[in-house]
Structure 1
């Protein structure tokens, strides 16, 4: 019996299994082709997945395994709101399984997640097509391949936190249809709730589309039912709000955190701008079109070249509901306009312009297009041969027109592989039309062609580019051993930084408290602060590069990791090394603790304006200690792209290039000693202080750039005075914070203030912090909207700082309430249906009883009544009983009515 059930289940769900397995196998073959682990020494770790997601996954892994807090992390960017990182990058429920995998396999698990989510996207699309068109045809799995392996997936699959929303989209669309047609709400609410919870950002785009699609469905399925529109609109609004409430635990803390980022500012476009023509977008539907990742606007819209053949058929098909056709074509037009114009583009992306990764909502266009061309495909037999060949000729004509118009952009494969595949699809349609092949053979042949097309396109050079697996891991063990050793010996609070980094998030990957970060959640105030001091910074990133001895001390950087031995023994002391791997750990001799006292009013007097970081550092030091001229100006003359700096006395030279260039080089000569030194520096496009080194008196330094975009080179050159810096350091260190204990989201420390003043901390300003002085909560302020500062009175105090993200408590309450409300509605509905069913059965039984009582004395009438209609058989032959009951001859009209009720009761019981 169990084997029969198993076979039956497999048969019923075979098409769904196929929808999952085919994309999984195709992408697996592409991974094998690209020698991705376990097929070689490569790993699919592209772009932000390399620089951001892998380190953040490692940080999540450490927290899950070691029981760390999910609200805050010291390992990322000086200490950040980890709830915000989690909501943006890590909220997919499946990520909680990371705690059960070996530490060394995190990158492999990430690739496996991409494989699995790609396959799930195929399953979801198959499920939608099957349910929407009421078919279990294998063709649903064939067309679902195009959704799972579209150009969107080839371009952006490394954004694995987006993929959950791709998986949920078909269920959300199916849920909207059920809500409008049948007033069912569960699928829509749960699927949208999961999407919002998993990644609120992509869910914004889905929500916009959900509103538009709901309006189309409302229009398409309109009936004469009383209150039709009001009833559906209210239901849609209520269950959309419940879905949003399910994700509130992620949304509310994220909204609060976004207020501190560059994304917190809104600037709505004032004029409409057109990016390109419709034909420009259409050419991106050709096979092997390079994916657009870092381009400004090009949308990834390719799903299959069958679009050129089947979309015209959809437009001409009489079997498609006319209102639905109008609505879906209108949605396609809206999406194309959104890719092509600035204001819709701005709105779709959450009221922001995307920083590269264009048209992030194009997966919605792809899904909608697939549903339309699939409907055309299953209705091809309603066309005449003339119409079919006309659509074929028109599709091929458009492809050839694109070749003519864009011959400089297109290659042979783009055009002629597209034409060959269109021909294959046409031949398959004609063979099916003429019933040349068995239906099953035709379906499998379709899957083979679709899979081949997806493989060809996904194998294109710009898709699924890997990186070397061993290279990403090569220095892990050495660094982590050094960090573990120093943290076991030095138990205080301090930060570590790399002088030669792999990514700006190396601290999260290697498990130490660092300064640098690259994330959309980077604090904008602190980013601006570091930029003013001469550190490298950009819209969503900042780093330790550009430090000076003074600014390094301000950030509590006590150790640095270098790939080579350092010559500056005045500022560094070797603490550990792994010579076989060229890794050296140095203790920084001048490091200020987590906090120290500053004079009252410091925060009001410090100005971060201007583009001279040396001047701002001098100002900071003077306001804090009264000591002036830590840096002094060196004269420099500019001639085109060359600057000459004259050093009159022995100097420790630092420069800050104000021209936007990628690299500079210098050479230094001295009249007495001749050649002094030379070096080059790259990665300066975001501007940062550069240390040229110590130069003897009488040295002439020539600085130049080979950057072709620059016509001139402008810079500031300054001499750093070590003796004055040491005086400043000693004054600040004398009244510093003594950290007694700390954990993931709290710090307890002591301070002995000589007079009333301001406690500076190297903790990023965030209203999630609560500060207690001697057990009493106190107000705190900020230094330049960047760092937390606490007013402290003279004397000895115990300072406690505790962190809990803004919006987290309200978000939890809303999420729990929304889940309970949804569960309550479901239970209430179930109970209501149960009672209604019981009442219906009771009424039917009463009628039956009356009927049989009335006929009890009439033997002829009793003989006409089929006794099998009175009760439901218990022998397992229910279907025969039902048929007998329904076929029993009746002559009396009253008996016919009663038997009609009897049949209804039998049918209902059989269904139960």
Structure 2
């Protein structure tokens, strides 16, 4: 075959490797009527609740706010973004999303998903062709099995990890070139790309490269050659890390202040479940929703290739030493799937929150690689081997039935056994009789097998409708743009509706909501302490007060009109209740939202008393803590509270015991067969704002309603939350009803408080005396002037403290201090000052320097070697 024909054939094989997975999955998506093919979408779980909003942020970053590459005030109250982007968004394929704005972003997700399926198949086909493990169209059987392996299907929604399947075959090809030809360029380049694309998956692949080196060492001649290969591997790996240092060094630092703080320090030597349960993953379609939070590894690659993997260890043409090492590596993988210390090793010391055994895509790749080596074109299985495999398969499928796994049905096991029989029948046939027909049968078997497995698995998952995403997004974007036209300045926005906690990234505005793996722990700690729903990795500003609104600079508010309902559909899901916003002046209105101006909001920085430096840790009472912060900033005694306890006017007990004290009491049903209620009524004696505090224990054991309407309250929280009950409702009774869901309920921290409006207004007036007047603002730079009045010796900010912030006052660098464990503040003298805040990711310059040096050194070495 001449070189031109060889190139043409390879082009055809690579094109087929791309198109077959795309056509298969595209047909399935069209069948499920997913956008743009119909009213459904690919959005589900984290893709619908997190990633889709990050993609919207990515579009705005590229098109409008390049500075948000490093920092964004849409991430909670503000946070670094380089580490976040390195985990979620550095895939170059995300550039495809630039063509899909707003509600059409779901169609972009579809295109991106299909592209990744196709590129994974193409990359595997490339590796098989270059290593000559397979040739011709039969390569498509192996590339398609890889592209549609069990991990890829189960993690289709985790788009941020999928590039690893595309890059892994290219890294392995580069590693083989390095070990056998002494050519490091391909390996260095693709490993560096993987480290920049997603450091998390790169860690797993780096561990796997060690195993590949061990697998290949027996094929090298002599110990000197092996030592030389190991040295070249080590130096090349370090070179890749050096080239990627511009993102790795800042990201590693960012992780030490966020995700890295959750690393396990106590490791137990134990098995996480009965290893025999892994047999269930050898059945097509072995996945359902319950496997997402916890389950076994998804490793299915089709029956033919599973059989091929086993046959590798009996392939006499493969040196026994290499088969032995491959066997040890396979055992290592299997132990990693169930033995806790090894599981933690692959996950960089942290137990996954949902989606367990995230490294199982590597094992799927390993199985395809071994099967491709074993099932050579001339291979023909003998009858004794076929019978042994058939008996073993029957025993395995029998055992999976006895395990009673929820994601497996009898029909699935029978279909799997059918594919075993068909696969064995084909392997018993001699290929030389009809090579093209034989290869066609192999392709057909594998495509039908993995296609059936994919369709069966995905049919068990529910998805967000296009209307649910599109209508909400359209209303949110319209309201956000309307506010920007009204006020193009720098401010935060609070709202009482929510589709996801990353709405600010979707709608391109600043707020205090966020859900992401790289959220700094200080932010949820502070937000929980002031009565907001918060947890590891998320915050949601749903339970503000007039005090917290003012302190955190919520200059504008958004509420849903018509209770968020359009044509009997809940278009805008409600997440909070704020009657104290009803009297704010309206500044904008859309079909489904109303925007209002909050004149009490403080700017991002303002003059305050130095008493804030002495304020201690948070109290257990969120309203008390809010009061202490505000009074300390205003220079007033912190023991003069802004909130006072309000007694209930009357209490009614239905089917529970009576009690003189409500808060802290555990109420129990007297008749277990009848409903049980506790009704608390109070009549506001003033027009001030009234707030209810509610401990986290209540939500699980009682439903809550006010005046016969359910509370619109986001129900995931771990701290005591604050709920606005009344404002300008003097003399109008308010009734709160707790209906028991179970046999008992502990009314933890259930109290009503009144805001002392006069005291609040007095402190607010003091803090409004010295605002920072912003002259220029970007995500990484804020510049303005401030006139500090007498008695105010501190410039307080509501910018979360971080090492990357650098502050200058009148051109002189000032070292900011951290107050209340969360925000930046700095000492300042009375008078007018020019203040400038600049953010630069820590170690960015050092990382860039290492990258340049590593790149130059690598290019020089490779050219000199040539």
Flag whether TM exceeds 0.5 (same fold).
yes
| C-alpha distance in structure 1 between counterparts of 2:769 and 2:114, whole Å | 56
**1:891 aligned residue:** none
Map residues 863-882 of structure 1 onto 2, 5 A cutoff.
none
| C-alpha distance in structure 2 between counterparts of 1:371 and 1:252, whole Å | 33
**1:384 aligned residue:** 382
Range 367-376 or range 772-781, more displaced: 367-376
| C-alpha distance in structure 1 between counterparts of 2:474 and 2:440, whole Å | 50
| C-alpha distance in structure 2 between counterparts of 1:554 and 1:173, whole Å | 54
For residues 649-673 of structure 1, the C-alpha deviation after alignment (integer angstroms, 9 at most, x for no partner) is: 63723222241635854456xxxxx
For residues 266-318 of structure 1, the C-alpha deviation after alignment (integer angstroms, 9 at most, x for no partner) is: 33224213111221012122111124653234221222233553344333332
Q: SS at 1:9's partner residue?
A: helix
Q: SS at 1:715's partner residue?
A: coil
Q: What is the Cα deviation at residue 373 of structure 1?
A: 2.6
2:306 counterpart of 1:272: no
For residues 339-380 of structure 1, the C-alpha deviation after alignment (integer angstroms, 9 at most, x for no partner) is: 212221122111111111111100001110122233333288
For residues 732-752 of structure 1, the C-alpha deviation after alignment (integer angstroms, 9 at most, x for no partner) is: 222322222212311112222
2:726 counterpart of 1:693: yes
2:783 counterpart of 1:748: yes
Q: What is the Cα deviation at residue 697 of structure 1?
A: 6.6
**2:617 aligned residue:** 607
Range 645-654 or range 323-332, more displaced: 645-654
| Structure 1 vs Structure 2 CA RMSD | 2.7
For residues 171-208 of structure 1, the C-alpha deviation after alignment (integer angstroms, 9 at most, x for no partner) is: 22222233222222122111211111110011011111
| C-alpha distance in structure 2 between counterparts of 1:660 and 1:129, whole Å | 58
Range 768-777 or range 288-297, more displaced: 288-297
After superposition, the Cα gap between the structure-2 partners of 1:778 and 1:653, relative to the gap in structure 1 and judged at 3 Å, is closer
Tell me if the contact between 1:600 and 1:758 (Cα under 8 Å) persists in the aligned partners. Answer: yes
Tell me if the contact between 1:664 and 1:681 (Cα under 8 Å) persists in the aligned partners. Answer: no
2:561 counterpart of 1:534: no
Report the TM-score, using the length of structure 2 for normalisation: 0.88
| C-alpha distance in structure 2 between counterparts of 1:95 and 1:570, whole Å | 41
After superposition, the Cα gap between the structure-2 partners of 1:667 and 1:181, relative to the gap in structure 1 and judged at 3 Å, is closer
**2:573 aligned residue:** none
Range 353-362 or range 486-495, more displaced: 486-495
2:793 counterpart of 1:795: no
**1:506 aligned residue:** 503
Map residues 199-218 of structure 1 onto 2, 5 A cutoff.
199-218=198-217
**2:645 aligned residue:** 633
After superposition, the Cα gap between the structure-2 partners of 1:821 and 1:780, relative to the gap in structure 1 and judged at 3 Å, is same
Q: SS at 2:129's partner residue?
A: helix
Q: What is the Cα deviation at residue 719 of structure 1?
A: 1.3
Q: In structure 2, which of residues 749, 760, 765 is the aligned counterpart of residue 730 of structure 1?
A: 765
| C-alpha distance in structure 1 between counterparts of 2:78 and 2:397, whole Å | 53
Tell me if the contact between 2:293 and 2:353 (Cα under 8 Å) persists in the aligned partners. Answer: no
Q: What is the Cα deviation at residue 105 of structure 1?
A: 4.1
| C-alpha distance in structure 1 between counterparts of 2:98 and 2:281, whole Å | 41
Q: Which has the higher contact order (CA 8 A, sep 6+)?
A: 2
| C-alpha distance in structure 2 between counterparts of 1:324 and 1:149, whole Å | 28
Q: SS at 1:467's partner residue?
A: coil
Map residues 85-234 of structure 1 onto 2, 5 A cutoff.
85-96=84-95, 98-99=97-98, 105-218=104-217, 220-224=218-222, 227-234=224-231
2:521 counterpart of 1:490: no
Map residues 293-692 of structure 1 onto 2, 5 A cutoff.
294-306=292-304, 309-378=307-376, 381=379, 383-406=381-404, 410-432=408-430, 438-460=434-456, 462=458, 465-564=462-561, 568=580, 571-578=583-590, 581-608=591-618, 610-625=619-634, 626=636, 628-634=640-646, 636-637=661-662, 638-640=665-667, 645=680, 647=682, 650=685, 652-659=690-697, 661-662=699-700, 664-666=702-704, 678-687=709-718, 688-692=721-725
After superposition, the Cα gap between the structure-2 partners of 1:491 and 1:370, relative to the gap in structure 1 and judged at 3 Å, is closer
Q: What is the Cα deviation at residue 390 of structure 1?
A: 1.8
Q: What is the Cα deviation at residue 444 of structure 1?
A: 1.2
Tell me if the contact between 1:666 and 1:701 (Cα under 8 Å) persists in the aligned partners. Answer: no
| C-alpha distance in structure 1 between counterparts of 2:406 and 2:39, whole Å | 36
For residues 41-93 of structure 1, the C-alpha deviation after alignment (integer angstroms, 9 at most, x for no partner) is: 22212222222222222222123223632222233322322222221111112
Q: SS at 2:541's partner residue?
A: coil
List gaps (5 residues or longer) in structure 1.
669-675, 831-912
**1:898 aligned residue:** none
Tell me if the contact between 1:317 and 1:379 (Cα under 8 Å) persists in the aligned partners. Answer: no
Structure number with larger C-alpha Rg: 1
For residues 98-125 of structure 1, the C-alpha deviation after alignment (integer angstroms, 9 at most, x for no partner) is: 4466666433222212111111111111
Range 769-778 or range 126-135, more displaced: 126-135
| C-alpha distance in structure 2 between counterparts of 1:708 and 1:456, whole Å | 43
For residues 467-521 of structure 1, the C-alpha deviation after alignment (integer angstroms, 9 at most, x for no partner) is: 2223312144444343333323324321113210111111111122222111112
| C-alpha distance in structure 1 between counterparts of 2:42 and 2:20, whole Å | 20
Q: SS at 1:585's partner residue?
A: strand
After superposition, the Cα gap between the structure-2 partners of 1:526 and 1:12, relative to the gap in structure 1 and judged at 3 Å, is closer
**Count of residues in correspondence between the two structures:** 813
Tell me if the contact between 1:663 and 1:684 (Cα under 8 Å) persists in the aligned partners. Answer: no
Q: SS at 1:523's partner residue?
A: coil
2:748 counterpart of 1:714: yes
Tell me if the contact between 2:99 and 2:108 (Cα under 8 Å) persists in the aligned partners. Answer: no
Tell me if the contact between 2:246 and 2:847 (Cα under 8 Å) persists in the aligned partners. Answer: yes
| C-alpha distance in structure 2 between counterparts of 1:331 and 1:616, whole Å | 55
